[in-house]
Structure 1
């Protein structure tokens, strides 16, 4: 039974190519970041209104 030689350098290069292509860079902020900022501003606005009514 013949075995194919195992080349760890080849698999490392293949993995690095896969990792570089797997996550394309997005331009601009993510939707989650925008939603978080809007929620934080809303909470601060509610607190300001609540404190001014006291």
Structure 2
């Protein structure tokens, strides 16, 4: 007679899903820190683009006078 269970008795880990959940929960703060760092770099990029546009508009305004 064949054994048709999805997990054979010798490979069953009842704590497997708990361990995976804990690993997921433990990784979340690191992910949040990375997102904050990426957000800061984007903010710096936006400020740099705005400053560059102001300088270009100033140069064009001086050239047209």
TM-score under structure 1 length normalisation? 0.58
> For residues 50 and 22 of structure 1, what CA distance do their matches in structure 2 show?
44
Which structure features the higher share of helix residues? 2
> For residues 38 and 32 of structure 2, what CA distance do their matches in structure 1 show?
10
Dislocated runs of 4+, deviation >6 Å: none
Unaligned segments of structure 1, at least 5 residues = 1-5
Count of equivalent residues? 47
Provide the alpha-carbon RMSD of the alignment. Answer: 2.7
Unaligned segments of structure 2, at least 5 residues = 1-7, 57-65
TM-score under structure 2 length normalisation? 0.51
